[in-house]
Amino acid sequence: MTRIVFRNANLVDGENPARPGVTVIVDGERIDGVYDRAVPEPGPGDRVIDLAGRTLMPGLFSCHFHTTFHELAPGEAPALQILHSPATYTLLAARNLRTALECGVTGIVCSSAPYGIDAALKQGLGEGWITGPRMLGGSHELMATNDIAAGVSRNYWLGLGNQGLVRTADGADAFRSLVREEIRDGADVVKISASGGHNAGPTEDLVNLMPDELEAVVDAAHSRGRLVRAHAASRAAVLACAKTGVDLIDHADRMDEECIEVILEKDATVVPSLLYILRVLDFMGGDQIQAMVSPGVRPMFEKTLQSMREDSAYLTDFLPRVEEAGVRIVCGDDFGTTFLPHGEYAQELEFYVKHVGMAPIDVVRWATRNGAQAMGRGDDLGTVEVGKLADLLVVDGDPLTDIGCLQDRERLHGVILGGEFAVDRLSRSSEA
Ligand SMILES: [Zn+2]
């Protein structure tokens, strides 16, 4: 198989500061060599590419990925995924996977999807019917009856029952059996709703599942080698989920020092996904939208907006402390919603640098090394190291000095997945 020799790279390896003038050799699907000097001569048939200082870095991971979300309006999430047929959602999802890969996302950990679509997508990727990132597929969103997230948009008189994205249950046995069904249907990551907040109604300091229900979910998933993730915005929910062994804590808006302690002890991952909230507030806080809200729902609307404002301000302030404490934070957000279309993944990285004040190198680690670890593949993916799989990006720019450069598809000169080019804008002139 042809080797690829990348010469003169600005290496951003997913862990360390940038190193200029590096040569990286890819042999088959893996990284075979990383050289600062004493570069071996290329062999006959090697594809030699002079990067002329462009950045070579690991592919991005998006760890809260809804494959089937498409122009989803805020507040509709739990009831949604009943607007189109499963067949239509599958087509949209296949398109979204392709978009992600073309944007440099080479790994996704899915949040929730209906109809076993994620399992079908994985099959399609494995068979080569479609193209997209490596993925862990999601489950339905499992909720207790009278979950606030269901109450916001899944009004009981509609009689929706267990349709679309949501499945509800009550009691440990019922939750255990739902988890087993989701795994039977192909889920790698089981999603539960553990609290309101983060645009699922206001955040009250509550946990939506009883302790035995939470334990049943975690035990049933872990005993079959699957992960659990939870929508957990309230402090009580973050703490309960972390203590019980939930692997990915989504949003974590109200986490505090005690939460940090338990998260570190349990080695859980936090997915803040704050960009979505900022986008919602930008739009929903506008006068025009306010005027359109009918008087009947105005109190709940106002309360939710207020909660989002306070929670996002709180987490924006607290997030640097979470990073400093050594918690594994990852990127990933509700792309596919009205305000955050698929394709804008890299805007999230810039948001954490410019709005939250994180160092670019930290955010790059969230999106590469940490993402691979959250996926359970830290040994094989997420950094540019000899022996790892060659999931790589060639970027015209340096994300450690200009994080925004990742957003421009024209500056993404190469996307390599397992040693094969998915995007190849490297002109022949850069080849020796
Ligand atoms: Zn989500």
- The per-residue pLDDT for range 329-384, each reduced to its tens digit, is 999 999 999 889 999 999 999 999 999 999 999 999 999 999 999 999 999 999 99
Q: Compute how many other C-beta atoms are within 10 angstroms of the C-beta atom of residue 48.
A: 16
Residue 384 CA to ligand 1 centre (angstroms) = 29
Contact 205/254 with Cβ under 8 angstroms?
A: yes
154: which 2 tokens? Answer: 């899944």
pLDDT by residue (tens digit) across 397-422? 999 999 999 999 999 999 999 999 99
What pLDDT score was predicted for residue 64? 98
Residues 226 and 343 in one domain: yes
Q: What angle do CA 407, 411, 414 make, to 5 degrees?
A: 105
Give the CB-side neighbour count of residue 427, counting CA atoms within 13 A.
7
Residue 205 neighbours by CB under 8 Å, 6+ apart: 234, 235, 236, 254
C-alpha dihedral, 179 to 256 to 60 to 386, nearest 10°:
-100
Residue 332 CA to ligand 1 centre (angstroms) = 9
Residues 293 and 362 in one domain: yes
Residue 92 CA to ligand 1 centre (angstroms) = 17
172: which 2 tokens? Answer: 């440990």
Residue 13 has pLDDT above 90, yes or no: yes
Residues 199 and 80 in one domain: yes
Residue 237 has pLDDT above 60, yes or no: yes
Q: What angle do CA 232, 336, 421 make, to 5 degrees?
A: 110
Residue 262 CA to ligand 1 centre (angstroms) = 23
In Å, how far are 17, 249, 284 from 332, measured between CA atoms?
23, 12, 22
Residue 214 CA to ligand 1 centre (angstroms) = 19
pLDDT by residue (tens digit) across 269-319? 999 999 999 998 888 777 667 777 777 778 888 888 899 999 999 999 999
pLDDT by residue (tens digit) across 36-52? 987 888 888 999 999 99
Residue 336 CA to ligand 1 centre (angstroms) = 9
Residue 415 CA to ligand 1 centre (angstroms) = 26
In Å, how far are 229, 332, 346 from 109, measured between CA atoms?
10, 8, 16
Residue 76 has pLDDT above 80, yes or no: no
Residue 31 has pLDDT above 80, yes or no: yes
Looking up tokens 């948009």 gives 153
Residues 30 and 67 in one domain: no
Average pLDDT of the residues in 178-194: 97
Long-range contacts of 305-310 (CB under 8 A, 24+ apart): 305/281, 306/202, 307/197, 307/201, 307/202, 307/203, 308/198, 308/199, 308/277, 308/280, 308/281, 309/281, 309/285
Residues 69 and 186 in one domain: yes
Contact 60/393 with Cβ under 8 angstroms?
A: yes
Of 358, 374, 390, which residue is a domain's last?
Answer: 374
345-354 helix and 360-367 helix, angle to the nearest 10 degrees: 150
Contact 209/192 with Cβ under 8 angstroms?
A: yes
Residue 3 CA to ligand 1 centre (angstroms) = 39
Residue 161 CA to ligand 1 centre (angstroms) = 20
Contact 281/309 with Cβ under 8 angstroms?
A: yes
Residues 16 and 103 in one domain: no
Average pLDDT of the residues in 206-222: 97
Of 353, 374, 395, which residue is a domain's last?
Answer: 374
Tell me the torsion sign for CA atoms 287, 289, 291, 295: negative
Strands 47-50 and 3-11: parallel
Residue 211 CA to ligand 1 centre (angstroms) = 23
What pLDDT score was predicted for residue 131? 98
Of 328, 347, 374, which residue is a domain's last?
Answer: 374
CATH number at residue 254: 3.20.20.140
What pLDDT score was predicted for residue 333? 97
What pLDDT score was predicted for residue 157? 75
The overall pTM is greater than 0.75:
yes
Residues 311 and 391 in one domain: no
C-alpha dihedral, 190 to 193 to 195 to 198, nearest 10°:
100
Residues 182 and 78 in one domain: yes
Residue 429 has pLDDT above 60, yes or no: no
C-alpha–C-alpha distance, residues 101 and 343, integer Å: 9
Average pLDDT of the residues in 47-60: 96
Is 173 in a helix, a strand, or coil? helix
Residues 311 and 346 in one domain: yes
Residues 350 and 386 in one domain: no
Residues 405 and 419 in one domain: yes
Residue 252 CA to ligand 1 centre (angstroms) = 13
409: which 2 tokens? Answer: 């598809």
Domain that holds residue 421: 3-59+382-430
Residues 48 and 76 in one domain: no
pLDDT by residue (tens digit) across 105-134? 999 999 999 999 999 999 999 999 999 999
Q: Please state the domain count of the chain.
A: 2
Q: What angle do CA 281, 286, 291 make, to 5 degrees?
A: 125
Q: What angle do CA 93, 200, 73 make, to 5 degrees?
A: 45
